[in-house]
């Protein structure tokens, strides 16, 4: 029986995407799946679907901070929340960041997983910026990329090919029905199944015939 293709559409500005990313990384060698990381642009998805950030509703924003703290502990992912997080999100554009990840996906996909993780760690654990060229290069070094490769990839982010690739991936997520992130799409029995959020992975397993062993399977 072939492996089920599972796509994770994500943006490193999204903490829930980090939770889903880590859990799927843990399951990719347990479940019979072909996990594919699909860096996309969350702001583009929000704009195309008319969605709004959760913090636009104050009570929802208050709940989200508490929820993230509980979820981070349960999923064993070092998300560190603070009352300044929503302002940080609003004032940070990840367009250049996601183009950098897109360029890596095209040229050196073996770095995509560790590089994505380092971006999340920098923004959500260390509370540092990830949007400026010097920040992007610092994260790339932390992920093990050479200075030469990092600079080459950074230069690629301004090319039409990389810009178009990110637009296409974002549009593909919307076509599957995504309105936020993470968006997980399982291609099973000849059709795509969309799961929104990091807390639907147990349901994902049920649909594709795999056993859920908790967020940290032994």
Those residues whose C-beta lies under 8 Å from the C-beta of residue 80, and which sit 6 or more positions away, are: 72, 124, 125, 127
Q: Which residues, other chains included, contact 85 with Cβ-Cβ below 8 Å and sequence gap of 6+?
A: 65
Query: Rounded to an integer, what distance in angstroms lies between the CA atom of residue 44 and that of residue 48?
Result: 6
Tell me the C-alpha distance between 124 and 42, whole Å.
Answer: 16
Cα angle, residue 86 at apex, residues 68 and 117 outer, rounded to 5°: 55
Q: How far apart are CA 4 and CA 191, in angstroms?
A: 11
- What single string gives the DSSP state of each residue in 137-173? HHHHHHTT--HHHHHHHHHHTTSHHHHHHHHHHHHHH
What residues are labeled active site?
14
Structure token digits, residue 176:
């599957």
């Amino acid at each position: 029986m072939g492996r089920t293709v599972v796509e994770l559409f994500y943006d490193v500005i999204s903490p829930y995407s980090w939770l889903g990313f880590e859990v799927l990384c843990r399951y990719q060698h347990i479940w019979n799946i072909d996990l594919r990381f699909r860096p996309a642009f969350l702001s583009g998805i929000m704009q195309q679907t008319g969605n709004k950030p959760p913090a636009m509703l104050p009570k929802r924003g208050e709940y989200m901070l508490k929820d993230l703290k509980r979820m981070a502990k349960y999923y064993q992912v070092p998300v560190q929340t603070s009352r300044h997080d929503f302002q940080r999100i609003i004032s940070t554009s990840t367009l250049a960041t996601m183009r950098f990840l897109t360029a890596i996906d095209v040229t050196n996909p073996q770095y995509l997983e560790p590089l994505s993780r380092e971006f999340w760690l920098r923004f959500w654990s260390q509370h540092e910026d990830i949007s400026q060229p010097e920040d992007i290069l610092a994260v790339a070094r932390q992920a093990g990329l050479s200075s030469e490769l990092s600079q080459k990839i950074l230069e690629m982010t301004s090319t039409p090919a990389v810009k178009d690739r990110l637009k296409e991936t974002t549009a593909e997520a919307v076509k599957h029905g995504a309105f936020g992130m993470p968006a997980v799409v399982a291609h099973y029995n000849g059709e795509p199944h969309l799961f929104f959020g990091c807390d639907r992975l147990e349901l994902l397993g049920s649909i594709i015939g795999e056993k859920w062993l908790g967020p940290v399977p032994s």
